[in-house]
């Protein structure tokens, strides 16, 4: 067994009602280290029994505890402490995340800073947010009573796991919900740090719970639990579809952030070097395991050959190596199962398009989940590598003649998460962006986010949008309270006589 990085316990356990616990069943699963695929730690394998305990603890904390009843400022103070605790563990988190998920250490570092920012942002928002009141002078006042929904189930993927978890934990907890987190089974290690963070910040027991385990058991039980009022899920589109169906039985609110096959459209007037840098980073950073990766490059025919040549030259120079090496740009994929899937797509691609770079394992890295940066060119729109999410360091490049063809190609997939448009023609940049079927578009940039903006996809990329106040909408109900001022006018059923002023069914009107 390879040894675990410093800062992790011997085994990874669930966290329920403020206590680290084994599974009720006593089951464990192996967690692999991506550069050797050896087991380095064991993780408690939860199922329905553990989910039942965690949801019961979260429900108790919601029904009886202080968390949903605190003044926004009080809760915000605790969330600020959470943020400080998270930021203080940047080095430690970076090392654990990189070891566990195979992310290059240079890219794993900084995840804590970003995660901390999520907590500060939502702490600020709950203090500043306004709710509506509607006045009808002399007759009625109506106001919105925003209420946390209750127990929130948070189900997260293995790419940038800690950051993804923070993106759900922060708005859910800020809203006053209590939570059960089900981290991805490939990468459960960094979730363990939350237990320390929450305790040090003074989050009351039961507000934050973790159940580890497989999607089909722990995840499924959380989705189906009748006391869970909202599920926020990030993961594959097919899993999202299953969860969508399973939420119906208990009529839960859902937020689904799913897969993508995002186009970067590069027009002939684009800033060539900037587009080159950005589209290389967009698909090869985070090992290509990135939902918003620019995995399809659509390049205008007049600059196509020049762009492809420059792109391939740079892709061949990307440094593939161990995640712990600070000079590594692309490291090991998360798990052998995922590695196999990516390699299968590369083989499929060889029969569908021209392989221009990479195409297999680097010669100098005989073990572990390493893949060369792989570039396919002249990829037809019918190709599976054009249509399907690979979620690895593989890019499909396709030429287009004009704007109409570019738009047609951009939209001709089942996904609609992100898009990137490269042009210096302002009119084209905006009209083209508006016509793209995607939840987010970046013009002359890769994915750099402002936390206030909507985040989410359309079509196969998701349901519902988070980001800014929209995240709070996922975790709260808005109850309308109507108050009569003055006299109430009611049609008098059963009373004798008919009044000229009988209001019938009409309300007071706006």
The catalytic residues are 257, 291
Strand 462-463, strand 476-484: pairing: unpaired
Is the CB of residue 254 less than 8 Å from the CB of residue 152? no
Find the angle CA(138)-CA(140)-CA(144) to the nearest 5 degrees: 140
Q: Does the footprint of ligand NAD cover residue 337 (CB under 6 A)?
A: no
DSSP string, 109-131: TTHHHHHHHHHHHHHHHHHH---
Q: Which one of the spans 124-132, 218-226, 368-376, 496-504 is the region binding ligand NAD (CB under 6 A)?
A: 218-226
Helix pair angle (301-317, 272-284), 10° resolution:
50
Q: Which one of the spans 50-58, 133-141, 253-261, 279-287 is the region binding ligand NAD (CB under 6 A)?
A: 253-261
Q: Does the footprint of ligand NAD cover residue 389 (CB under 6 A)?
A: yes
**Residues in CB range of 132: below 8 A, 6 or more apart:** 143, 144
Range 269-328, binding ligand NAD (CB under 6 A): 291
Options 242, 250, 324, 444; binder of ligand NAD; rule CB under 6 A? 242
Residue 167's SS3 state is helix
Residue among 316, 277, 319 nearest 420 (CA): 277
Residue closer to ligand NAD, measured from CB, 85 or 185:
185
Q: Does the footprint of ligand NAD cover residue 27 (CB under 6 A)?
A: no
Residue 19 burial (CB count, 10 A)? 12
Options 148, 219, 263, 288; binder of ligand NAD; rule CB under 6 A? 219
Catalogue the E-assigned strands of 269-402. 296-300, 354-357, 374-377, 394-400
Min dist CB 183 to ligand NAD, Å, is 6
Q: Does the footprint of ligand NAD cover residue 63 (CB under 6 A)?
A: no
Residue closer to ligand NAD, measured from CB, 219 or 358:
219
Options 34, 94, 282, 462; binder of ligand NAD; rule CB under 6 A? 462
Distances (CA, A) of 377 to 97, 228, 282, 349, 355: 33, 47, 17, 10, 6
Size of the site for ligand NAD (CB under 6 A): 31
Residue 347 burial (CB count, 10 A)? 10
Residue 57 burial (CB count, 10 A)? 24
Min dist CB 125 to ligand NAD, Å, is 19
Q: Which one of the spans 23-31, 125-133, 178-186, 402-410 is the region binding ligand NAD (CB under 6 A)?
A: 178-186
Options 14, 109, 114, 182; binder of ligand NAD; rule CB under 6 A? 182
Residue among 263, 128, 156 nearest 219 (CA): 156
Residue closer to ligand NAD, measured from CB, 45 or 377:
45
Please tell me what DSSP assigns to residue 65. S
Q: Which one of the spans 55-63, 104-112, 154-162, 419-427 is the region binding ligand NAD (CB under 6 A)?
A: 154-162
Q: Which one of the spans 58-66, 96-104, 143-151, 155-163 is the region binding ligand NAD (CB under 6 A)?
A: 155-163
Options 65, 349, 457, 468; binder of ligand NAD; rule CB under 6 A? 457
Residues that bind ligand NAD (CB under 6 A): 155-159, 164, 182, 184-185, 214-216, 219-220, 223, 234-236, 239, 242-243, 257-260, 291, 389, 391, 417, 457, 462
């Amino acid at each position: 067994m390879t040894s675990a990085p410093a800062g992790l316990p011997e085994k990874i356990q669930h966290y329920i009602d403020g206590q680290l616990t084994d599974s009720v069943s006593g089951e464990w699963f192996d967690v692999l280290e991506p550069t050797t695929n050896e087991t380095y730690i064991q993780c408690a394998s939860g199922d329905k029994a553990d989910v039942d305990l965690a949801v019961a603890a979260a429900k108790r904390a919601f029904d009886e505890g202080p968390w949903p009843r605190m003044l926004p400022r009080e809760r915000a103070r605790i969330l600020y402490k959470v943020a400080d605790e998270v930021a203080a563990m940047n080095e430690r988190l970076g090392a654990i995340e990189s070891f566990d998920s195979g992310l290059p250490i240079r890219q794993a570092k900084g995840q804590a800073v970003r995660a901390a920012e999520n907590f500060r942002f939502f702490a600020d928002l709950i203090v500043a947010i306004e709710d509506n009141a509607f006045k009808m002078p002399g007759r009625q006042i109506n106001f919105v009573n925003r209420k946390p929904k209750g127990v929130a189930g948070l189900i997260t993927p293995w790419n940038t796991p800690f950051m993804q978890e923070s993106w759900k934990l922060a708005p859910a907890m800020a809203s006053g919900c209590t939570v059960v987190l089900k981290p991805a089974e490939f990468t459960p290690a960094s979730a363990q740090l939350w237990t320390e963070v929450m305790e040090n910040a003074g989050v009351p027991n039961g507000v934050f719970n973790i159940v580890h385990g497989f999607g089909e058991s722990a995840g499924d039980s959380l989705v189906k639990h009748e006391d869970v009022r909202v599920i926020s899920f990030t993961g594959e589109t097919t899993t999202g579809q299953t969860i969508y169906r399973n939420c119906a039985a208990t009529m839960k609110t859902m937020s689904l952030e799913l897969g993508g096959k995002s186009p970067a459209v590069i027009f002939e007037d684009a800033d060539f070097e900037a587009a080159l840098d950005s589209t290389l980073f967009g698909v090869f950073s985070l090992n290509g395991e990135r939902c918003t990766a620019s995995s399809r490059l659509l390049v205008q025919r007049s600059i196509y050959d020049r762009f492809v040549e420059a792109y391939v030259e740079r892709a061949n120079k990307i440094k593939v190596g161990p995640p712990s090496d600070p000079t590594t740009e692309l490291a090991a994929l998360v798990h052998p199962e995922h590695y196999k899937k990516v390699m299968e797509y590369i083989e499929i691609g060889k029969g569908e398009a021209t392989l221009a770079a990479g195409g297999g394992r680097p010669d100098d890295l005989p073990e572990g989940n390493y893949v060369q940066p792989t570039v396919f060119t002249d990829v037809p729109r019918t190709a599976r590598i054009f249509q399907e999410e690979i979620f690895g360091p593989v890019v499909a490049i396709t030429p287009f003649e004009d704007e109409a063809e570019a738009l047609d190609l951009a939209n001709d997939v089942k996904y609609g998460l992100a898009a990137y448009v490269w042009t210096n023609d302002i009119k084209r940049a905006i009209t083209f962006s508006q016509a793209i079927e995607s939840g987010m578009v970046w013009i002359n940039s890769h994915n750099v986010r402002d936390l206030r903006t909507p985040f989410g996809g359309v079509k196969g990329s998701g349901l519902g949008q988070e980001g800014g106040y929209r995240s709070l909408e996922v975790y709260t109900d808005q109850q309308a309270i109507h108050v009569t001022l003055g006299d109430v006018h009611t049609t008098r059923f059963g009373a004798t006589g008919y009044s000229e002023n009988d209001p019938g069914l009409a309300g007071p009107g706006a």
